[in-house]
Amino acid sequence: MPKTVIEFKNVTKIYKLYKNDKQRFKAIFFKKTPYKPKNAVNNVSFKINKGESVALFGKNGAGKSTILKMITEVTYPTSGEIIIDGRVSALLELTSGFDPEFTGRENIYLKGQLLGINTDEIKKLEQTIIDFAQIEEYIDQPVRTYSSGMKARLGFSINVNVEPEILIVDEALSVGDEEFRRKCIKKINELIEKGVTLLYVTHATKTAQDFCKRGMVMQTGNLIFDGDIEEAMQVYTDTIKE
């Protein structure tokens, strides 16, 4: 029986929207401060097994990003339980997550260390990462001088090369030129063959088909479909038309 690596049990995430920051500050001391609850994710449950590759569809505001953030343990659910088993490497907003004052090379080390990889291991990966990102001599320049494409390539390169167990890709492949994109797709396919669990989040249904067999569709915080990719795409296209 395959191992479950991501499991959501009745997960709900409510954002508290206050009228302004003053109200939010007041809420620390007074419980009664009024706020508008926003259900970003509503009672969602699913299981993803090791080695599966799953596409997550949904319109803007459907709750996709919130789910991803909860998987990466950046944000916490309001209620419910999330079980994650394995090193998560997330390609969320590729252009951020770097320290702009540091060079590309230093950022590779910093990020590696933050992911809990020891220095020797990073040294081994360093050249692979740089080669993959194609930033050549810029690698020793501060990241603040990079173009957004360069940042994205470096971010992608780090995340796929640190040997993740769970890979989360959020619209990342829309960056870079056609050649880089193909390279990314190839790399992701390689990782899938190695047994990496992939969660792919996108609006574009076409690329999802390339890697995923299973699809999930989100609509205004609810998981409305979970199953075969073809059907998922159909459901998603219908939600757009509505």
Which residues sit at the interface with another protein, rule CB under 8 A? 15-16, 21-22, 24-25, 28, 69, 72-76, 88, 90, 92-93, 96-99, 101-102, 106, 110, 113-116
DSSP notation for 56-80: EEE-TTSSHHHHHHHHTTSS--SEE
Comparing CB distances to another protein, the nearer of 90 and 184 is: 90
Tokens of 215: 């699809």
CB of 169 within 8 A of CB of 91? yes
Torsion (CA) 195, 117, 84, 231 in degrees, nearest 10: -40
Q: In what order do the strands lie in the sheet with 222-228?
A: 88-91, 166-170, 197-202, 53-58, 214-219, 222-228
User: For tokens 């199953």, what's the residue?
Assistant: 227
Comparing CB distances to another protein, the nearer of 133 and 233 is: 133
Count of other CB atoms within 10 angstroms of residue 158: 26
**Rounded Cα gap, residues 139 and 218, in angstroms:** 39
CB of 172 to another protein, least distance (A): 14
| Degrees, nearest 5: CA angle 214-217-220 | 160
Comparing CB distances to another protein, the nearer of 97 and 149 is: 97
Q: Which residue in 189, 185, 163 sits closest to 172, CA to CA?
A: 185
CB of 45 to another protein, least distance (A): 20
CB of 75 to another protein, least distance (A): 5
CB of 5 to another protein, least distance (A): 15
CB of 167 to another protein, least distance (A): 14
Comparing CB distances to another protein, the nearer of 96 and 147 is: 96
Comparing CB distances to another protein, the nearer of 60 and 178 is: 60
CB of 150 to another protein, least distance (A): 17
Comparing CB distances to another protein, the nearer of 70 and 216 is: 70
